[in-house]
Structure 1
Amino acid sequence: MPGRLPLVEQLDGLRSVLSRNEVLTDVMTRAAALELPGWYVTAGCLFQTVWNVVTGGPPTNGIKDYDIFYFDGTDLSWEAEDAVIKAGREVFAGLPAEVEIRNEARVHLWYEQKFGIPCPPHESTETAIDCFAATTCCLGVRLNSDGTWRVYAPHGLSDVFNLVVRPNPVLAPRAVYETKVARWKEEWPELTVLPWPN
């Protein structure tokens, strides 16, 4: 089980597992061409690919979309982000998947309206990834110009490989966590879901 291996071997295992999702590797290759500042492919498409492979399912099973985060604090206008989204539509045209691109420097401008609690401005893409509702989701991968992978995994990879979903009560409200895990549990009944702390 990769979740019990030394971290270096877990990273090799992660790359091996994620590479089985050809949509994901295509998204990463195309995303690199956009040259977005501080970008990562992140969220469900990563940990759900791992869950699929670990549980013997097709690598793309249950994945709703492929999220790309980037960080550009030089222009916080919607127009600047929308221009990137439109450029992305062309780059990702023809892929059998939805790709969502978001500038994490802008999240604090809309987060409270959507989730009912304020979000302090993020300082980087990494600080945005740190705020996912579950630590298991705090994962980002990008392709470097030399073809190597950069992996951001502040909580490690053991829970991801071991199908453990652990709450991360730093920003997202409890309801967001509970809604997400209810959906995931239907798709991946093998998950061990830890309760939100009181």
Structure 2
Amino acid sequence: MTRNLSTALTGIISDDKWMLETLKTVRSLALNDCWIGAGFVRNKIWDYQHGLERQALNDIDVIYFDRLRLSRQDDLSLERTLNSINPALNWSVKNQARMHLRNGHRPYKNCEDAMAYWPETATSVAVRLNTKGSIEYIAPCGLEDLFNLVVAPTPNADLKVYQDRLESKAWKKKWRNLVIQSGYRDPCDK
């Protein structure tokens, strides 16, 4: 099933010219372990599964991992660079090598490790365009919840943060077929 979901994910994104252009823009930064995640992927798949056109995003969540660029100013500089390339998008850049400090966790090993601490399993998916033009993805909790329209906390999530996001995001209003889980379930694959 994972192989089929993998093919589905890369196919759905590859068929979206806007997403490909956005991925090319981020690839041009040439950052280590760099991805676009969260709503960029999650919302696209939920729209697709509901037969909807891709809806506008609040922001584009760019993540990367670089232990030598730990200042928030580095992230802001990268946001300015992205804005100079495509000012129509609201770019949010976060170096996952420093996010453990904000979140009170042990240091993360890489972006995939950091994503295992994100609030929802369906949000913990990120994609990038490699130098050969192929879509790659990371999903520490797998793709099943994303494609099965299940909203569940990751095993490492703070349940209060998860519950607050459920309330503030009101996803069920947009995507009526979502199945909302109130608590922890199966652990992430890794």
TM-score range, shorter chain: 0.7 to 0.9
TM-score, with normalisation over the residues of structure 2?
A: 0.86
Candidates 154, 172, 181, aligned match of 1:185:
172
Q: Is the 8 A contact 1:20 1:59 kept in 2?
A: no
Aligned to 1:29: 24
Within the alignment, does 1:119 sit opposite 2:72 as a pair? Answer: no
Measured in 2, the distance between the counterparts of 1:7 and 1:123 equals: 24
Q: Given the two structures, how large is their TM-score scaled by the length of structure 1?
A: 0.83
CA contact (8 A) 1:92 1:99 kept: no
2:32, 2:85 → 1: CA distance?
16
Counterparts of 1:52 and 1:187, CA distance in 2? 9
Work out whether residues 21 and 60 of structure 1, in 8 Å CA contact, stay in contact via their aligned partners in 2.
Answer: no
RMSD: 2.0
Q: Counterparts of 1:57 and 1:66 in 2: how far apart (Å)?
A: 19
2:160 — aligned with what? 175
1:155 CA displacement: 2.3
Return the alpha-carbon distance in structure 1 between the equivalents of residues 20 and 165 of structure 2: 25
Identical aligned pairs, as a percentage? 26
Structure 1 position 92 matched with structure 2 position 79:
no
CA distance in 1, matches of 2:154, 2:100: 18
Counterpart for residue 126 of structure 2: 140
Q: In structure 2, how many angstroms separate the alpha carbons of the residues matched to 1:76 and 1:155?
A: 26
Q: How does 1:3-152 map to 2 (within 5 A)?
A: 6-61=1-56, 63-93=57-87, 95=88, 97-111=89-103, 118-152=104-138
Q: What displacement does 1:25 show?
A: 1.9
CA contact (8 A) 2:121 2:146 kept: no
Equivalent residue for 2:188?
A: none
Are the counterparts in 2 of residues 24 and 66 from structure 1 also a CA contact under 8 Å? no
Structure 1 residue 152 displacement after superposition: 0.8
Residue of structure 2 equivalent to 1:195: 182
Contact 1:88 1:101 in 2 (8 A): no
Structure 1: gaps spanning 5 or more residues: 1-5, 112-117
5+ residue gaps, structure 2, are 186-190
Output the CA distance in 2 between the equivalents of 1:60 and 1:19.
Answer: 17
Shift of 1:168: 1.1
3-state secondary structure, aligned to 1:136: coil
CA pair 53-197 structure 1, distance change in 2 beyond 3 A: closer
**CA shift for structure 1 position 20:** 4.4
